[in-house]
């Protein structure tokens, strides 16, 4: 365990030296406990002796023993770890851990021993990641050590990123029970340094493909959240200019300086995670940020086609969320999705206008139906279907749908026939006079080109003009008025809710108080007396119902 500074003449000599060193350590600890020697002074002395002479390198073993007792004495363990970090930083900078071919056997033995103790120190720091009190200080020490190792461990002219040690750091961060550790690492290192982000993607991909790794549900959820938080996608190679460890300068561009290499590593990590399977909640989270935070990382977004189309075909809220990702592939990669508008039309069901993803869906729907080259027959089907659903929709949904109708009528003038359908035959006129007219719209038809919506009329909007909510009734009347406005900004209406509508009503200034005719009753739950009965007073309806008509 001790480093030999000169060749031992015999086994007994080596044994005697180890015993002397052990007695020295015990004496220090004993005097520190009995006489109350300050811990900082003791650690400072050990550090000074190590840096003073090679014969005191055994003090490193003493410091390692103190650092390993983090479960028993946390302050001593972290103080010893900080001292060890300073010691190894100095030794690395002095080149004491560089393996040289021309070194003597004695020097090679010392160097090998120091590198082994450095490995022991790394392991101590990594195991501290599991301790809630020590995880954050241990992370900072490990990253400081990593930086110095990159510059001095191999004795090269240019720094080399220590991939093995960093991969171990990522492994322990993933498996640590301390959530704050991952937040700290993401905030201070991944978000700040391009090379740390690059090698984090690579380490996660390697971890997910390691057959010996324990990829349980908890670990997969941790990796999922870690990847999800890496959402700042660089736009060009020029954006890759902040490095924790400056990559070497070579004739060929280093992978860390290449945006395509960054995206390739991110793509591999995401694909490795998706291949393991995702829960429903995780798929929803991915789909909600797919087009902005995940798909831009992919050098080949086509690899997402199967995942997105499967989600799009799943139905329900999953389909609504997958719509933006499918649109991204259609727009950016010319994805050919067969019968896209048929599938889009099928998403218009009774639950859609009540969904919390309603605003997202209506924004995309506005984009999909915005082209003036779409068949008027198909656009009419979407208008008619949404008008029918609006009869049972919340007020916050209706106030967004009606202005959208207005915009579609302006873009597709052929659909305006739906607003005012004049009866053409005597039979139609007779049915209208009798108060019974059959709507030709086929609500059950899945193909928007076959619903006959263009032959129908928007009687649903007329019903909405008598809605109980005054704002809904007022906005529904814009369809019956002259179309003098060029278009409505739908964004002004999409984020309304019951709360916002209520606040708007409460904020209105009442110019004229409403007239209320109301007489306060003398009795509600009791019967009138004989005298009151003679005066013409009668029992209230509540009393009659309470007695079930027996009174």
- Distances from the Cα of 27 to the Cα of 4, 78, 93, 413, angstroms: 21, 22, 31, 96
Q: What mean pLDDT do residues 214-222 have?
A: 89
pLDDT reading at 551 higher than 70: no
Higher-confidence residue of 472 and 317: namely 472
Sorted by sequence, the CB contacts under 8 Å of residue 316 that are 6+ apart come out as 351
pLDDT above 90 covers what percent of the chain?
37
And the tokens for 423? 């009866």
* CB-based contact 186:230 (threshold 8 Å): yes
230-253 per-position pLDDT tens digit: 988 888 888 898 999 988 777 678
Which of 14-28, 131-145, 316-330, 387-401 is the least confident region?
Answer: 14-28
Mean pLDDT across the stretch 350-367?
Answer: 86
pLDDT in tens, 303-324: 888 888 888 888 778 888 888 8
Phi, psi of 37 (to 5 degrees): -65, 135
| CA dist., res. 536 & res. 134, Å (int) | 85
Helix, strand, coil percent values for the chain (each to nearest 5): 65, 0, 35
**367: pLDDT strictly greater than 80:** yes
Measure Cα distances from 55 to 21, 44, 60, 94 in Å: 11, 17, 11, 16
d(Cα 488, Cα 462) in Å, to the nearest integer?
20
Phi, psi of 521 (to 5 degrees): -75, 150
* pLDDT score of 6: 39
Q: Pick the residue with more confidence: 168 or 536? A: 168
What is the DSSP secondary-structure string of 156-187? -SS----HHHHHHHHHHHHH-S-HHHHHHHII
Q: Is the pLDDT of residue 546 over 70?
A: no
Percent of the chain with pLDDT over 70: 90
Residue-level pLDDT at 8: 37
For residue 487, pLDDT over 50 is answered with yes
- Mean confidence (pLDDT) of the chain: 84
Q: What global pTM score does this model have?
A: 0.71
pLDDT tens track for 16-53: 444 444 454 444 444 444 433 588 888 889 989 998 88
Residue 429 has pLDDT above 50, yes or no: yes
- Per-residue pLDDT tens over the stretch 151-178: 888 877 788 899 999 999 999 999 999 9
């Amino acid at each position: 365990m001790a480093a030999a500074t000169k060749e031992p003449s015999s086994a007994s000599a080596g044994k005697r030296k180890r015993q002397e060193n052990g007695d020295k350590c015990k004496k220090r600890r004993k005097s520190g406990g009995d006489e109350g020697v300050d811990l900082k002074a003791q650690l400072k002395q050990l550090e000074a002796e190590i840096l003073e002479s090679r014969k005191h390198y055994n003090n490193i073993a003493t410091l390692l023993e103190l650092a390993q007792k983090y479960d028993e004495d946390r302050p001593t363990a972290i103080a010893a770890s900080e001292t060890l970090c300073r010691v190894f930083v100095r030794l690395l900078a002095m080149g004491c851990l560089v393996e040289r071919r021309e070194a003597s056997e004695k020097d090679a033995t010392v160097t090998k021993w120091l590198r082994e103790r450095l490995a022991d120190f790394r392991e101590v720091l990594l195991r501290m990641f599991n301790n809630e009190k020590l995880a954050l200080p241990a992370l900072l020490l490990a990253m400081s050590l990593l930086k110095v190792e990159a510059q001095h461990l191999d004795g090269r002219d240019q720094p080399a990123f220590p991939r093995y040690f960093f991969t171990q750091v990522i492994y322990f961060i993933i498996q640590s029970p301390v959530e704050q550790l991952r937040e700290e690492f993401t905030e201070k290192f991944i978000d700040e340094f391009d090379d740390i982000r690059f090698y984090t993607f690579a380490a996660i991909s390697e971890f997910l493909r390691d057959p010996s790794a324990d990829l349980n549900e908890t670990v997969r959820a941790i990796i999922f959240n870690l990847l999800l938080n890496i959402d700042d996608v660089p736009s060009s190679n020029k954006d890759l200019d902040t490095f924790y460890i400056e990559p070497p300068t070579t004739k060929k561009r280093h992978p860390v300086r290449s945006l395509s290499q960054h995206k390739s590593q991110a793509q591999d990590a995401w694909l490795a995670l998706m291949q393991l399977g995702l829960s429903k909640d995780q798929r929803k989270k991915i789909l909600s940020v797919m087009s902005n935070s995940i798909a831009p990382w992919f050098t080949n977004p086509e690899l997402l086609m199967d995942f997105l189309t499967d989600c799009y075909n799943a139905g329900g809220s999953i389909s609504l969320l997958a719509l933006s990702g499918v649109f991204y592939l259609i727009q950016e990669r010319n994805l050919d999705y067969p019968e896209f508008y048929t599938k889009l039309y099928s998403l218009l069901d009774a639950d859609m206008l009540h969904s919390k993803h309603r605003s997202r869906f209506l924004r995309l729907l506005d984009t999909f139906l915005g082209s003036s080259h779409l068949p008027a027959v198909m656009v009419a089907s979407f208008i008619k279907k949404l008008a029918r659903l609006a009869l049972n929709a919340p007020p916050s949904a209706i106030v967004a749908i009606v202005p959208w109708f207005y915009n579609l009528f302006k873009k597709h003038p052929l659909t305006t026939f739906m607003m005012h359908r004049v009866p053409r035959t005597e039979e139609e006129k007779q049915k209208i006079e009798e108060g019974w007219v059959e709507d030709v719209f086929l609500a059950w038809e899945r193909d928007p080109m076959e619903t006959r919506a263009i032959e129908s009329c928007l009687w649903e909007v007329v019903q909405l003009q008598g809605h109980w909510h005054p704002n809904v009734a007022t906005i529904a009347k814009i369809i019956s008025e002259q179309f003098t406005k060029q278009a409505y900004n739908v964004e002004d209406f999409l984020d309304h809710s019951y709360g916002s509508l209520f606040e708007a009503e409460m904020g209105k200034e009442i110019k004229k108080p409403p007239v209320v005719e109301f007489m306060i009753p003398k009795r509600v739950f009791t019967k009138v007396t004989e005298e009151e009965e003679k005066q013409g007073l009668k029992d209230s309806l509540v009393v009659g119902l309470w007695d079930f008509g027996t009174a």
